[in-house]
Structure 1
Amino acid sequence: MPKYPLPKNETARLNSLQHYNLMDSGADKEFDAIATIASVICGIPISLITFIDENRQWFKSHIGTDFTENLRELSFCTHAIASGEEIMVVPDATKDLRFADNPMVTGPTKLVFYAGVPLINEEGHALGTICVLDQKIHELSEEQTAALKSLAKQVVDKIELKRKITHLETANRELLSSNVLIQKFASMAAHDIKNPLTSILLTSQLLRADTEKSGNERSLKLIDVNISSTKTLLSLVDEMLDYSKSPGLLIARKQKIKVNGLFERMRNLLALPEGFSLDFHCELTEINHSSIAIEQILLNLLSNAIRYNDKDKGEVSVTLGEEENFYILEVCDNGVGIAEEHHDQIFDTNFTLNRADRFDNVGTGIGLSTVKDLVATLNGTIKLSSIPGSGSTFLIRLKK
């Protein structure tokens, strides 16, 4: 057992100290400034800011001495952190049974006076102290004592701030690494998707050339739809890859979008079940916005409107209008609807109602979450109104 007192929570204290990476962390002008103020206010030549691990006391700042560390068993501060007091004052160490035979008192340093305030972190652990020492007897006034306590709080605030900054930097590096991984995945996924799409396009074009000779108009129309849809998908893959590399392009890269062309692309990309109607309403001929974002929003909402519709005659409608500073997009259906208690949750990542769609597939909870994220990125809002059994309406406001 050591020949000095230990805090009651010593193991937890040491674990907490380790998380700050303070030991041997080098000099710091901010801490030196605080230690200097402590020395001046108290009128005492030696001032230290120290941290104490299992075996030693290390000086983060040392004013009035060249020493940078001490053995824990010789340290006055190790008594201070175990005392449970707000401040420990030793007016005359030569007459104190705890320190009278301490080499720091009997040896060349000839310490006599000590006053130390424990540095207690947010978890309640005393990591070290701010202290003043001298070879003469002193008494601290109430003002000096209060000032030393206040300086101790400043030290704790600084180390907490530095720890939080370190954590944020670590999290940021991890986020950057994740983004790089996502970009690599997006690039590979785009490559994997583009190859078969390109093959489908080439095959369809060859098939069209052969079918054209036979004069089968119905087959030609089907092939043309296939070619148009494939070209649209190829374009979407390219744009999605661009945005995965630079998400800021969602806002920065606005372009003129022909509304009729937008609606036609949506119609070509969606497989409408028999008996379904899909109507588009818009008095605008074009809008100026992010094409890829609006197309992704519409594809997700329209796909859901079709999938989660239990009516023999499904009805889906899209209305696009504008206000002074916003485009207003409304998607309505006469599907199964969503209960009011789920109106907020439905936009959470991976949240599903565990309900099979008309094709007996269960959703992943990604679609509406993606829509919400896209709308938020575009400085917009999305609102759901729905009646179970009657249908749903998604109202989206996108800033121009």
Structure 2
Amino acid sequence: MTVNEIVRDAVLAGAGLPIPSGPDARIVVPIPSERLQNLVELARTVCGQPVTAINIITEDLQYQVATAGIDPHMCAREDSMCAVGFLSGAPTVLEDASLDPRYSGNPYVDGRRGRVRFYASIPLITDDGFVLGTLCAGSRETGRISDEQLRGLEILAAQVVDVLHLEHRARQLAGALAEAERSNGLLAEFAGRISHDLRNPLTTILGYVELAEMDAEAGDDGHSSDYLDIVGNTGRRMLSMVEDVLAFATIGGDLHPAHLSLPELVQDVVEDLAAILQESGASIDCGELTFTADAGQTRVLLQNLIHNAVAYRRPRVPPVIHITGHRGEEGAVLRVIDNGKGIGPADRERVLDPLVRLHREGDPPGSGLGLATCARIAAAAGGRLEIGPIPDVGTIVTVHLGPHS
């Protein structure tokens, strides 16, 4: 899709103008933008005709985004008068459309939907030659316009194109600002969680260092080795958290797509997690799928999901993990299904946020970044991650890897 096609579609999807469900439906729309409405009203004044409209024409539809003299409506492109010749890039002016063989059988001319006689249409052409639609004028009476009036409509058509681009850019800017505000909020929340999660182990370390110093001043070194063990373990946990945070921060950067085999990726992960898989008695089976994705990030995704399936298993129940893959409408879809504790409906969205842990009885310690990392990998690939239940117990994690997989 070209930039101009995106602009055209953004007029329909992003300007607050919903597309009705049927091609013949009347449109109930918010008030058009003041600038577009002013231009279409000015066009009516310039040409002296009772009806003018700004039309955006897509592959299937003609959509009126501003009108004067009629209510806006939508029709199938095959029924549109403007769609007949707008791609030529030249204006069309007909004193009586019923006498032109290109238009005489059109439903807006032959009485099925209207009886248009005078008709003028100016293509809306971007600087690089893309035709978005038309600025048109019409009447039930035959008529004509002067060369000066036609030139005025052409100038207004150029202004319509400029306004459509300007409003599209304004919506993009508003979206970017909203996303920046959302990102800043998430960053502040993330920083708050990090500072909280690092403050506790640091307090522990400093506390035991002070105890060791006090014992040293008192000439009692009997507990020093115990203190050092605690400090070392706590420091290692902090280091692991810092490494998790750094890994999360770098996920989703430059992607290097490659042809991948799902069974081969899973086998690599099984070898990496061999110790915990053997200790837990886990069993894993994997279906066949060849797809395109970043090898390193997809391996991290599968490793996190398989590790979670083992870490959050039910007491005294060996983990059983099924990994499947297939091709959907939006690209490759991976599923990791386990028989573990599961995640309740209220928590399935929340656990995808960074540093969120459920703190359930028997849960192992963690950084709360595993699922957030998986969600970020899926998003970087142009897809998404969803968490759902399975009928009895356990969790199913579905990863859509996007259209390029």
TM-score (norm 1): 0.46
Structure with higher Rg: it is 1
* TM-score, reference length from structure 2: 0.46
